Structure 1
Amino acid sequence: MRLKLLALWVLAALPAQAADPALLSQLDALFAKRNDAESLKALEAGLKDALTAEPEDFELAWRKARILQWQADGATEKKLKMVLGKQTWEAGDKAAKLQPARVEGYYFAACGIGSYSQAVGIMKALGDGLEGKFNERLDTALKLDPGYDYGGPWLVKGRYYFELPWPKRDLSKSVTFYEKAIAKYPQSLRAYLYLAETLLKDGKAEKARDAIEKVKQGSTAYNPAEGQRVQQWAKKTDADIQEELK
């Protein structure tokens, strides 16, 4: 009887459903080509069908949060960014509940709250108490795996200190987190872009110019869609730096 109860307990502790590894590989391949409209469409359709069949699968849940964050991060219209940010937040939270010991859910939930906050405005987000929710998730991600997604948790924390209003803003702390990411992932163009923007805001335009050159001249091979997006964003930052140096 005891053995039977133990077996039932073990079965209950295991994930009820598990996505096919081949399917996950296909979804990851499509994500790698997410800057292509057809690949993005196929990824969304594939995730939707897979989650309909296996709604409680962690590997599918965090991948849903990942593509939502990519879309929220790139959204320029505030209402769309707000909607996508909230969806990312919710998808990340679901993944975190499914696998509390894994970094992905907390990380993408924090990213989603960040995108949502950017859309509604940082002051409103602070007034609505989102800062605590954001840091709770991000700090958990930092403890679990700060190097995830090319140092993503470090970059998000650095950006947090960059975007806070005075007197909470701390550009020195912001730079410290970017440097941690760069030390481990020197290929990360986003890390150098964030560093350049922070140095420029801190009145260090010459150092900002050095950082933005790393973005302009860097290879996108490590993550083509990400790298190409960041290099596109860098054009405005580069122009701002050149204007400051005149």
Structure 2
Amino acid sequence: MRLISFALCLLLSLPAWGAEASLLSELDALYAKRGDAGGEKAYEGALKTALDAAPEDYELVWRKARILQWQADGAASDKLKKVLGRQTWDWGEKAVKLAPARVEGHYYAATGIGAYSQAVGIMKALGEGLEGKFNERLDKALQIDANYDRGAPLLAKGRYYYELPWPKRDLAKSASLYEKAIAKHPEMLRAYYFLAETQLRDGKAAKARDTLQKVKQGSVAYDPAEGRRVQEWSKKVEADIEKELR
């Protein structure tokens, strides 16, 4: 209820604010609570009202792509992931058109293509020519700011090398990109989670177990919703590792 009340106050004050720094700060505060009860709805409602008033505002557009990417990342079905991935892609492209020199649009367009590709199947995505579109956008994001959102573009590129079918798959490149992100952002639990999965697939189960401990024991304070999500996902990887080590 507190989140909803806070969001309502925010909505009532929007016409006077416009997309000013104070509004963006309040939106980001709501986004940080997206993992709490009612948090995601509160953020979506406030963002929708802001976008209705200023549909071409870059700061609002990329924030729309961000919540869609979060939802696609946690989608419970391929059908839903496909829809959300496409929407993330579209909003990311809109952001690119509004501010091509900024990193966010390129990054979210790439992750939208990635989510869409996961949903339809990597082989089908390759057949549709999505690999080139994904890399074009992601490589631009890496060029602008590889450390955006705690190294998120590096993680996306690492995941690309992990998910490609043989012989394109390159687990060594995947691991090196995660390690590069970890070196600058040691709090980022997703980097350890992805690294553990890569090590497991590469036949290094013991190393994967050690890496996954960083996820289990790590603090989620940097982003509670993200950290809790990754820790929940890590349970299945831990089971897979222990099975491999038996």
Alpha-carbon distance between aligned partners in 2 of 1:212 and 1:169, rounded to the nearest angstrom: 22
Residue aligning to 2:12? none
Residue aligning to 2:4? none
Alpha-carbon distance between aligned partners in 2 of 1:40 and 1:176, rounded to the nearest angstrom: 34
Alpha-carbon distance between aligned partners in 2 of 1:210 and 1:19, rounded to the nearest angstrom: 45
Alpha-carbon distance between aligned partners in 2 of 1:37 and 1:70, rounded to the nearest angstrom: 16
Alpha-carbon distance between aligned partners in 2 of 1:166 and 1:32, rounded to the nearest angstrom: 38
Alpha-carbon distance between aligned partners in 1 of 2:156 and 2:69, rounded to the nearest angstrom: 13
Shift of 1:235: 0.3
Residue aligning to 1:73? 73
Residue aligning to 2:206? 206
Gaps in structure 2 of 5+ consecutive residues: 1-17
Give a deviation string over 1:115-173, Cα, whole Å, max 9, x none.
00000000000000000000000000000000001100000000000000001000000
Shift of 1:46: 1.1
Shift of 1:20: 2.1
Residue aligning to 2:229? 229
- The letter of the residue matching 2:156 is V
Alpha-carbon distance between aligned partners in 2 of 1:219 and 1:51, rounded to the nearest angstrom: 34
- The letter of the residue matching 2:92 is G
Aligned pairs for 1:107-118 within 5 A: 107-118=107-118
- The letter of the residue matching 1:206 is A
Shift of 1:244: 0.4
Alpha-carbon distance between aligned partners in 2 of 1:154 and 1:75, rounded to the nearest angstrom: 22
Shift of 1:49: 1.1
Residue aligning to 2:5? none
Alpha-carbon distance between aligned partners in 1 of 2:215 and 2:204, rounded to the nearest angstrom: 17
Residue aligning to 2:86? 86
Shift of 1:181: 0.2
Gaps in structure 1 of 5+ consecutive residues: 1-17
Give a deviation string over 1:221-240, Cα, whole Å, max 9, x none.
11111000000000000010
Alpha-carbon distance between aligned partners in 1 of 2:130 and 2:229, rounded to the nearest angstrom: 27
Alpha-carbon distance between aligned partners in 2 of 1:236 and 1:138, rounded to the nearest angstrom: 28
Alpha-carbon distance between aligned partners in 1 of 2:181 and 2:34, rounded to the nearest angstrom: 23
Shift of 1:22: 1.6
Aligned pairs for 1:5-24 within 5 A: 19-24=19-24
1:133 is the counterpart of 2:104: no
Shift of 1:50: 0.9
Alpha-carbon distance between aligned partners in 2 of 1:36 and 1:109, rounded to the nearest angstrom: 26
Residue aligning to 1:6? none
- The letter of the residue matching 1:21 is A
Residue aligning to 1:102? 102
Residue aligning to 1:50? 50
Residue aligning to 1:169? 169
- The letter of the residue matching 2:207 is K
Could you say what the CA RMSD is over the residues aligned between the two structures, in angstroms? Answer: 0.8
Alpha-carbon distance between aligned partners in 1 of 2:154 and 2:80, rounded to the nearest angstrom: 26
1:220 is the counterpart of 2:229: no
Residue aligning to 1:149? 149
Shift of 1:37: 3.8
Query: What SS does structure 1 have at the residue aligned with 2:38?
Result: helix
Shift of 1:45: 1.0
Shift of 1:48: 1.0
Alpha-carbon distance between aligned partners in 2 of 1:91 and 1:196, rounded to the nearest angstrom: 31
Query: What SS does structure 2 have at the residue aligned with 1:231?
Result: helix
- The letter of the residue matching 2:119 is A
Query: What SS does structure 1 have at the residue aligned with 2:146?
Result: coil
Residue aligning to 2:190? 190
